[in-house]
Amino acid sequence: MINIEKLTIAEIKKGYIDKKFTVIEIVSAYIDRIKRLDPKINAFITLCEEMALKEAAILDDKIENGEEIGQLGGIPVAIKDNICTKGIKTSCASKVLEDFIAPYDATVVKKLKDAGAIIIGKTNMDEFAMGSSTENSAFKITKNPWDLGKVPGGSSGGSAAALTAGFAPLTIGSDTGGSIRQPAAFCGNVGLKPTYGLVSRYGLIAFASSLDQIGPFTKDVRDCALSLEVLQGNDPLDATSVNDTATKDYLTDLDAGIEGLKIGVPKEFFQEGLDPEIDESIKGSIKKLKEMGATVEEFSLPITESGLSAYYIVSSAEASSNLARYDGVRYGYRAETFEGIEELIVNSRSEAFGKEAKRRIMLGTYVLSSGYYDAYYKKAMLLRKKIKNVFNEAFKRYDIILSPTSPILPFGIGEKTEDPLQMYLADIYTVNINIAGLPAISIPCGFSKSKLPIGVQLIGHHYAEKKLLQAAYNLEQSLGVYKDIPELKGVE
Amino acid sequence: MAYETVIGLEIHVELDTKSKIFCSCSTEFGAKPNENTCPICTGLPGTLPVLNEEVVNLAIKAGNALNCDMNRINKFDRKNYFYPDLPKAYQISQFDLPICENGYVDIHVDGKNRRINLTRIHLEEDAGKLIHIEDEPVTLVDYNRCGVPLIEIVSEPDMRSAEEAVEFLKNLKAILEYAEVSDCRMEQGSLRCDANISVREVGQEALNTKVEIKNMNSFREILKAIQKEEKRQVELYTFGEGHKIKQETRKWDSSKGRTIPMRSKEDAHDYRYFPEPDLMPVIIAQDTIAKIKQNLPELPSKKKERFVTSYKLSEKEIDILIGKKILADYFEAVISFGADSKEAANWIIVDVLRALKEESNEEMPIKAQYLAGLIKIIDQGKISRTVGKEVFSELITTDQSPEEIVKQKGLSQISGMDQIEKIIVEIIGKNPQAVDDFKNGKAQAVGFLMGQTMKATNGKVNPKLAKEILENKLKEM
């Protein structure tokens, strides 16, 4: 049997070339592992066994005939359940879309398929990507593979846990305020939120349109760079997808050194509320970076708290509008009893949306209401502009900004569900990056005494993914912690 | 007490594009329900809008034609409300930065020239259509219209009577047709109008409470609805019950000929407008605006000036021809085939218009080339005017040229001098009494003999020539 849980994308690709295994063998091994272990982890909402095996057979034939199988040929990929997949259910982990099957593929899904990747399933998440623990799923609670009593983070908790549990060498998530980076930190893997506009949003079921961005979870930075090459690119179906001229070759020179790289560390990200174990681990990363020849400097980035308020106002406002289409008229959940159109809409929405989604819809509706718009939404937009400017200024001095990904370690399941404000504070280091549309990556940088993963966040300037990945690669290699995988105690 | 009515209009006009505003679906009217739809215009989860740039060009065209200022920086906003015909539960529209502002349309009513100012023109997408099944608790939705590009034109409250409102709308419609912005077919809903009406005492400056009237589908209904609402409000003020006029939306019921309350101000939506995050701002180059202005088709006022100087037609005739773009275009096409302008105008205004009305068709009943040919052969004396009318009726039903019809039906006029002389000699020989009458100074005898000549030739003889020959022959006797 193949030890698939340890394999990276690069290793699987090499294995296919060296004929160490076939695509069917790889896909079957992952599916077996998912079937065996996922009942305890709950990373998946839908498993695509039949379809995946069919695709695998086609690719094996291609290999047999000496044909090209693509940049991700034969690589199993699990996709967050808010990204549309033609013919496969896309539920957003919501009762609202429990049986929704999109008649089209999201652009990223099309790109993955074109590159030869094989979709093996759809992963669990917080309902409509609203949350930081994946506890807001209408269907199941995903467990952190490092400690089944802890949350995997969110909202892309299913994708993060699936990657860490060895259910796929590549999983796809979406990040609106930290929904890739925070679960990557909680589960100890690499998670990237690209620059807003680098990856098409077409087919990503919108939470907050001006903040949402799709990105990968991988075992290491090299795999991340490889998958970003496939995911990125201008899309005529997404007007916010940007056609820029920056390089899309992220693999070449990935291992070039970082001598002279200028790194800024905002001191506001190291204040009250930061777990001392995380603080210590991040300082270890800073030491490593200095050893490799980077200059690291503390500076002031006075935006953290205002950023969080701006984030919750803008994201909720957009969400209240984006989620309004789920009225039970055309598709999705429809109440069984109603009289007239108004009751149909009210009953359907009241019965199907979860607590957190309702909270954000209410909040968003409120801040957009006449008489409140200026005090909230307009002010938030001004703050947003200010935050962008503050970052632009900082990037005149630094190539990379470094911070913890999360102020807290993975917390216990149920621990914060009754206190949404506490939950919102977990996003304090990540939301500003979405507000400013910047790229940021979380990579594992250590463990707590209780063996819970800790992530460090590196932030780059717009479209500076190449430099960001180089810095992340060098740090990852020198730290070495990325190779650790959980024992899955109590599962096997 | 004398009252005056204050009217402002809001007009929705579907732009004449091939595809919808945010997807590539066809905009054609009359398709099977939900045939012209896709995941984007039905707002399926995950889909995104991408702007059809032709829409912006047409709005600029409309703005130019209506004398507006252009906003070069444009953005879209979401107008949020729940309704089953609106699949995203928001309409993509423009809120605080409309593409055009401050235009005007000049009108002429009761011998007076009036300028009606326009507040703004903004871009937006149309919604679908609800179809209520009679006697069944079922409503169906057709999303074909969903995403058809619209401009909404908002006028200032500058009109003072229903007649002015209708005249304004007629002029506006003609301008938009001429500018090739829209086909403006009210019966298909590609031009729709809502009216805001209030009444105040003459001399009073402040505006009284206004009432919005919806669901008027023709000029006639607009005239009637406004007059009816005007009367309702004046009566209430007259009897000291002005307070009963509430700010509300009323629906015109054309079958009952009255307006009925639809929703009050209290029920008004809070649309929670905010900038559409899925679309980037649209920056229009000065150059684009100038180019569109330069290539603007001839507008009704310019066309009228030209007609007055180029053709010897009465103002009334010109107004009728200009009133409908297809008529004016047709008239000029007929002229271009060499027909006399006065004759062409006559035929079009009398016969072509009648045929159009009978067929209730938007298409011209006869090819311009054929009408020009018909006019020419009458002018050349090949057929008489009477026979011409017969040929005209033939032309509507067949696809033959007038010459072919004349030949086939043997309608050709007898114009050969010898031939006519022969016939006339025969007629004179048969009617000695009439010849005597003529000699005795009875001029009517000529008429009698002409009638006999026409009868004998089934009207095919050239009357002018025949009369000349007849008179000469009689004098010679």
What six digits make up the tokens of B177? 């047709």
Mean pLDDT on A118-126 = 98
Q: Please determine, for residue A92, whether its predicted confidence score (pLDDT) is greater than 70.
A: yes
With CB atoms and an 8 Å threshold, state whether A325 touches B141.
Answer: no
With CB atoms and an 8 Å threshold, state whether A203 touches B87.
Answer: no
Query: Global pTM?
Result: 0.90
Q: Residue B42's closest chain A neighbor by CA?
A: A330
Cα gap B184→B172, rounded to integer Å: 10
Chain A residues in contact with B50 (beta carbon < 8 A) = 236-239
Chain A residues in contact with B47 (beta carbon < 8 A) = 104, 202-203
Domains of chain A, residue spans: 4-264+396-483, 304-381
Domains of chain B, residue spans: 3-288, 298-409, 417-476
Cα gap B189→B183, rounded to integer Å: 10
Which residues have a Cβ under 8 Å from the Cβ of B361 and sit 6 or more positions away? none
Q: Residue A378's closest chain B neighbor by CA?
A: B274
Tens of pLDDT, residues A36-53? 999 999 999 999 999 999
pLDDT, position B360: 60
Give strand pairing partners of B3. Answer: B201
With CB atoms and an 8 Å threshold, state whether A365 touches B272.
Answer: yes
Which residues have a Cβ under 8 Å from the Cβ of A27 and sit 6 or more positions away? A52, A53, A55, A56, A74, A76, A118, A120
In this structure, of A216-225, A332-341, B172-181, B252-261, the range with the lowest mean pLDDT score is B252-261
Tens of pLDDT, residues A128-177? 999 999 999 999 999 999 999 999 999 999 999 999 999 999 999 999 99
Q: Residue A318's closest chain B neighbor by CA?
A: B277
Architecture of the B417-476 domain: Orthogonal Bundle (1.10)
Chain A residues in contact with B84 (beta carbon < 8 A) = 327, 329, 341
Cα angle B401-B455-B407, degrees, rounded to a multiple of 5: 20
Q: Residue B139's closest chain A neighbor by CA?
A: A341
Chain B residues in contact with A324 (beta carbon < 8 A) = 80, 82, 88-90
pLDDT, position A1: 63
In this structure, of B76-85, B295-304, B417-426, the range with the lowest mean pLDDT score is B417-426
In the numeric block, the tokens 């296919």 are attached to: A16
What six digits make up the tokens of A363? 């909040």
In this structure, of A356-370, A454-468, B166-180, B412-426, the range with the lowest mean pLDDT score is B412-426
With CB atoms and an 8 Å threshold, state whether B89 touches A210.
Answer: no
Q: Residue B86's closest chain A neighbor by CA?
A: A325
In the numeric block, the tokens 């930061």 are attached to: A274
pLDDT, position B251: 92
Neighbours of A114 (CB within 10 A): 12
Q: Is A254 on the interface with B (CB under 8 A)?
A: no
Chain A residues in contact with B278 (beta carbon < 8 A) = 206, 209, 239-240
- Which of A97, A201, A325 is opposite residue B48, by nearest beta carbon? A201
Mean pLDDT on B165-170 = 95
Q: Which of A80, A143, A219, A416 is catalytic?
A: A80
Q: Which of A28, A179, A241, A348 is catalytic?
A: A179
Mean pLDDT on B275-294 = 95
Q: Residue A82's closest chain B neighbor by CA?
A: B46
Q: Is A243 on the interface with B (CB under 8 A)?
A: no
Kindly report the backbone phi and psi dihedral angles of residue B168, in degrees, each rounded to the nearest multiple of 5, phi listed first: -60, -45
Q: How far is CA B434 from CA B78, B444, B456, in A?
A: 88, 9, 16
Distance from CA of B41 to the nearest CA of A (A): 12
The amino acid at B28: E
Give strand pairing partners of B93. Answer: B77
Q: Which of A28, A91, A137, A155 is catalytic?
A: A155
For the question of residue A241 being annotated catalytic, the response is no
For the question of residue A155 being annotated catalytic, the response is yes
What residues 243-282 of chain B have any CB closer than 8 A to a CB of chain A?
270, 272-274, 277-280
Which ipTM was obtained for this model?
Answer: 0.96
Residue A106 and residue A85 in contact, taking contact as beta carbons nearer than 8 Å: yes
Which residues have a Cβ under 8 Å from the Cβ of B472 and sit 6 or more positions away? none
How many residues are present in chain A?
492
Mean pLDDT on A95-106 = 97
With CB atoms and an 8 Å threshold, state whether A204 touches B51.
Answer: no
What six digits make up the tokens of B234? 């004046």
Question: In whole numbers, what is the pLDDT of chain B averaged over residues?
Answer: 90
With CB atoms and an 8 Å threshold, state whether A321 touches B280.
Answer: no
With CB atoms and an 8 Å threshold, state whether A237 touches B50.
Answer: yes
Q: Is B137 on the interface with A (CB under 8 A)?
A: no
Q: Please determine, for residue B383, whether its predicted confidence score (pLDDT) is greater than 90.
A: no
Q: Please determine, for residue B414, whether its predicted confidence score (pLDDT) is greater than 70.
A: no
Q: Is A172 on the interface with B (CB under 8 A)?
A: no
What residues 421-450 of chain A have any CB closer than 8 A to a CB of chain B?
none
With CB atoms and an 8 Å threshold, state whether A324 touches B45.
Answer: no
Kindly report the backbone phi and psi dihedral angles of residue A76, in degrees, each rounded to the nearest multiple of 5, phi listed first: -70, 140
Distance from CA of B180 to the nearest CA of A (A): 28
- Which of B43, B46, B51 is opposite residue A102, by nearest beta carbon? B46
Q: How far is CA B267 from CA A320, B10, B215, B373, in A?
A: 21, 20, 19, 62
pLDDT, position B236: 92
Tens of pLDDT, residues B117-144? 999 999 999 999 999 888 888 899 999 9
Q: How confident is the model at residue A343 (pLDDT cuts 50, 70, 90)?
A: very high
Q: Is A240 on the interface with B (CB under 8 A)?
A: yes
Q: Is A317 on the interface with B (CB under 8 A)?
A: yes
In this structure, of A239-243, A472-476, B169-173, B424-428, the range with the lowest mean pLDDT score is B424-428
Q: Which of B202, B259, B194 is nearest to B232 (CA)?
A: B259
Cα gap B230→B6, rounded to integer Å: 9
Pairing of strands A440-447, B3-14: unpaired
Neighbours of B346 (CB within 10 A): 15
**Interface test mutation site (partner A, options B24, B44, B139, B140, max chain A beta carbons within 10 A):** B44
Chain B residues in contact with A341 (beta carbon < 8 A) = 84, 139
**Interface test mutation site (partner B, options A85, A96, A100, A104, max chain B beta carbons within 10 A):** A104
pLDDT, position B332: 92
Q: Please determine, for residue B358, whether its predicted confidence score (pLDDT) is greater than 80.
A: no
Q: Please determine, for residue B416, whether its predicted confidence score (pLDDT) is greater than 70.
A: no
Cα gap A19→B120, rounded to integer Å: 69
Tens of pLDDT, residues A371-423? 999 999 999 999 999 999 999 999 999 999 999 999 999 999 999 888 888 88
Record: fold of A4-264+396-483 = Amidase signature (AS) enzymes (3.90.1300)
In the numeric block, the tokens 């209290």 are attached to: B266
pLDDT, position A492: 66
Q: What percent of chain A has pLDDT over 70?
A: 99
Chain A residues in contact with B39 (beta carbon < 8 A) = 102-104
Helix (H) or strand (E) holding A163: helix A157-164
Q: Please determine, for residue B359, whether its predicted confidence score (pLDDT) is greater than 80.
A: no
Question: In whole numbers, what is the pLDDT of chain A averaged over residues?
Answer: 95
- Which of B39, B82, B279 is opposite residue A327, by nearest beta carbon? B82
Residue A224 and residue A257 in contact, taking contact as beta carbons nearer than 8 Å: no
Mean pLDDT on B54-77 = 96
Q: Is B89 on the interface with A (CB under 8 A)?
A: yes
Mean pLDDT on B370-383 = 85
Mean pLDDT on B349-368 = 80
Chain B residues in contact with A199 (beta carbon < 8 A) = none
For the question of residue A200 being annotated catalytic, the response is no
Chain B residues in contact with A325 (beta carbon < 8 A) = 43, 45, 87-89
Distance from CA of A99 to the nearest CA of B (A): 13
Chain A residues in contact with B279 (beta carbon < 8 A) = 239-240
